[in-house]
Amino acid sequence: MSNSSLLELGQPAVMKNVGRLPVVFTRGEGSRLWDADGKEYLDLLTGISVHNFGHSHPAITEALVRQAGKIIHVSNYFYLEEQVKLAAALTKLTGFQQVFFSNSGAEANEAALKLARKYGKVHLDGKYQIVTARDSFHGRTFGALSATGQPKYQASFQPVVRGFVYAPMNDLDAWKTAIGDQSCAILIELVQGEGGVVPADPEFIAGLVAFCRERRVLVMVDEVQTGFGRTGKYFAYEHFHFRPDVITVAKTLGGGIPCGALLVDERANLFEPGDHSTTIGGGAMAFAAGLAVLDLLQEPGLMAEVIRKGRHIQDTWEEWRKELPVIKGSRGIGMMLALDLNIPSKPVMLKCLERGLVVNAVTDTAIRILPALNIPPAELDEALAIMKQVLREFS
């Protein structure tokens, strides 16, 4: 079926809960996508950091095909071979004590929020408030939405869950004020993704973590977008030289099959049987893919390559800035990057799409890219050349 006939079928049937662009993708390989008309695209968005190793990676595909014919789900009354192996591999990689698997990033955060409340009850005389950042994004379920410090996401759904307090990123005094008598935990992204690719300042994080430690407030880091090598470290907290008590992950974890996880250290490991659960929680397909993902992640030299490519992109953008006045600057860490513009970003994104390049207008004036970590340098440069040509047309 053609792109237009699929849209004719899909547009009346698929809910308009997000502003989808009128392209129907039918195939992906590495950093390339094809739509239903066979038009080819370079993908610098990777399903919003779900395909950190590109589309249809042979190792992930092989794991999925093998698993599909073996076993997919039992129930959480039992263990699954791939679940056990993935949990062991994740704890070995990160040093966290234990893992809970969920179906998504939002659900990993729901689990973290419940855990924080339990920590408050058990260790802090019933303290219950959780402090999060303004412009943060933690997901769309009610708890995660309530943690998300952006009124635009909450407005239509008030009242949201109570017990959340918000403070601006990188303003330590504001966080010290927000962490009050009733606070049991903080939940923070170290690079805000949906908020516009805004990295935390190392000094801010050092001060914040020290303050939380003094108050015995749980430090929870949302690594849903920053995890699995996206910033040039396995997890973003490694850039900041501290260990959170809790991290949440998702996206790349299941290699494209829905899966999230909550990883906890001993101090926060408080769930008892019956406290929290989910029927599938990823499932064997996601776990099998996850094992392949962890092997790919630990390939020697990959993290250095991410840093190198990220620097190349930012240096290239900086060069363009000298000749293209529409460019204001850039920000980000590793291959989690945004190009800040002096013009609206959406027309730029649409023009890129027309030219066969997938990027994201993450804010009104910023273009976000989250390329595959293993994108071949020549394809990256090809994508950058399309972007430059488009920006030149807007200059």
Residue choice 110, 222, 265, 379 for contact with ligand PLP (CB under 6 A): 222
**Paired residues of 261 in beta bridges:** 101, 249
Residue choice 225, 345, 365, 374 for contact with ligand PLP (CB under 6 A): 225
Contacts of residue 367, Cβ cutoff 8 Å, sequence gap at least 6: 338, 339, 341, 345, 348, 349, 352, 359, 360, 361, 387
Shortest Cβ 194–ligand PLP spacing (Å) = 5
Grouping H, G, I as helix, E, B as strand and the rest as coil, residue 377 is helix
Considering the rule CB under 6 A, would residue 101 count as an interface residue with ligand PLP? no
Question: Is the bond into 159 cis (omega within 30 degrees of 0)?
Answer: yes
Considering the rule CB under 6 A, would residue 106 count as an interface residue with ligand PLP? yes
Nearer to ligand PLP, 194 or 265 (CB): 194
For residue 157 the two structure tokens come to: 């759904």
Considering the rule CB under 6 A, would residue 250 count as an interface residue with ligand PLP? yes
Closest by CA to 372, choosing from 322, 324, 306, 308, is: 306
Q: Please give the Cα distance from 205 to 241 (Å, whole number).
A: 9
Grouping H, G, I as helix, E, B as strand and the rest as coil, residue 382 is helix
Considering the rule CB under 6 A, would residue 286 count as an interface residue with ligand PLP? no
Grouping H, G, I as helix, E, B as strand and the rest as coil, residue 11 is helix
Q: How distant, in Å, are the alpha carbons of 34, 43, 314 from that of 386?
A: 17, 12, 16
Considering the rule CB under 6 A, would residue 143 count as an interface residue with ligand PLP? no
Residue choice 63, 197, 221, 224 for contact with ligand PLP (CB under 6 A): 224
Considering the rule CB under 6 A, would residue 197 count as an interface residue with ligand PLP? no
Binding mask 23-62 for ligand PLP (x = CB under 6 A): -------------------------x--------------
| DSSP letter, residue 288 | H
Burial of 104 (0-12, 13-18, 19+ CB in 10 A): buried
Binding mask 121-140 for ligand PLP (x = CB under 6 A): ----------------xxx-
Residue choice 110, 194, 265, 379 for contact with ligand PLP (CB under 6 A): 194
Nearer to ligand PLP, 250 or 293 (CB): 250
Rounded to an integer, what is the distance from CA 250 to the centroid of its chain? 7
Nearer to ligand PLP, 57 or 368 (CB): 368
Residues that bind ligand PLP (CB under 6 A): 48, 104-106, 109, 137-139, 189, 193-194, 222, 224-225, 250
